[in-house]
Structure 1
Amino acid sequence: MKALDNVCVEKISRILGELISGTELTRILSKNNWKDHDTETGIKSISTKWKRINASMLYEINKVKSPKPFFQFVEEVMTPVSFVNSEEGWYYNLKEINLILRFYGYEITDAGKIKIVKATETLSEAIKRSKSLIEKLEAHNIHTKVTEYCTPELLNENYFHAILEASKSVFERIRVLTFSNLDGNQLINEAFKINNPSIIINGNKLENNDEKSQYLGLKSLLNTICYIYRNPTAHSPKLFNEKNENDAIIAFIMMSMAHQQLDHCSCVRFIN
Structure 2
Amino acid sequence: MTGQKFPAFPAGILEHVCKLIAELYSGSELTRIMSEIPLRDDPGEGNTKWRRLAYAVSSNQARTQSGNAVIALVSASMRPERTLDRADVARLTRDQLNQVLSLVGYRVRDDGRVGRAARARSTDEAEKRTEHLRGLLERRGAHREVLTYCRPDLLRKDYYEAVFEAIKGLGSRLRQLTGVDGDGYALVEGTMAGSTPRLRINALQTRTQRDEQLGVANLAKGLFSAFRNPAAHEPRIEWTLSEQDALDVLGTLSMIHRRLDVATVEAH
Given the alignment, which residue of 230, 241, 245 partners 1:244? Answer: 241
1:16 maps to 2:21: yes
User: 1:118 Cα shift?
Assistant: 1.5
1:34 equivalent in structure 2? 40
Distance across 1 between alignment mates of 2:133 and 2:109:
15
- Cα deviation digits, residues 54-74 of structure 1 (max 9, x gap): 111111111111100121122
The equivalent of 2:115 in structure 1 is 115
Residues in 1 aligned to 2:168 and 2:23: alpha-carbon distance in whole angstroms: 36
Looking at structure 2, the residues matched to 12 and 249 of structure 1 have their Cα atoms a distance apart, in angstroms, of: 31
Equivalent of 2:221, from 224, 230, 234?
Answer: 230
Closer/same/farther in 2, CA of residues 48 and 253 from structure 1, 3 Å limit? same
Q: Which amino acid aligns with 1:18?
A: E
- Contact 2:102 / 2:119 at 8 angstroms: preserved in 1? yes
Change (3 A) 1:136 1:30: same
Q: Kindly indicate whether residue 157 of structure 2 is the aligned counterpart of residue 157 of structure 1.
A: no
Once the 2 structures are TM-superposed, how far is the Cα of residue 101 of structure 1 from its aligned partner?
0.6
Residues 159 and 245, structure 1, Cα contact 8 Å, conserved in 2: no
Output the CA distance in 2 between the equivalents of 1:230 and 1:20: 39
Mark the runs of 5 or more structure 1 residues left unpaired by the alignment.
Answer: 200-218, 265-272
Task: Name the aligned partner's letter for residue 31 of structure 2.
Answer: T
**Structure whose CA Rg is larger:** 1
Q: Which runs of 5+ in 2 are unaligned?
A: 1-5, 154-159, 179-190, 228-237, 263-268
Match of 2:196 in 1: 181
Structure-1 separation of matches of 2:41 and 2:30 = 12
Distance 1:71 1:51, change over 3 A: same
Q: What is the identity, as a one-letter code, of the residue corresponding to 1:35?
A: D
Q: Where in structure 2 are the equivalents of 1:251-262 lying within 5 Å?
A: 251-257=249-255
Q: Provide the TM-score with structure 1 as the length reference.
A: 0.60
CA RMSD of aligned residues (A): 4.9
Give aligned pairs, total.
222
In 1: Cα distance, 2:35 partner to 2:225 partner: 53
Residue pair 2:102, 2:126 contacting (<8 A) in 1 also: yes
Percent identity between the two aligned chains: 22
Find the counterpart in structure 2 of residue 83 from structure 1. Answer: 83
Q: Which residue of 1 aligns with 2:93?
A: 93
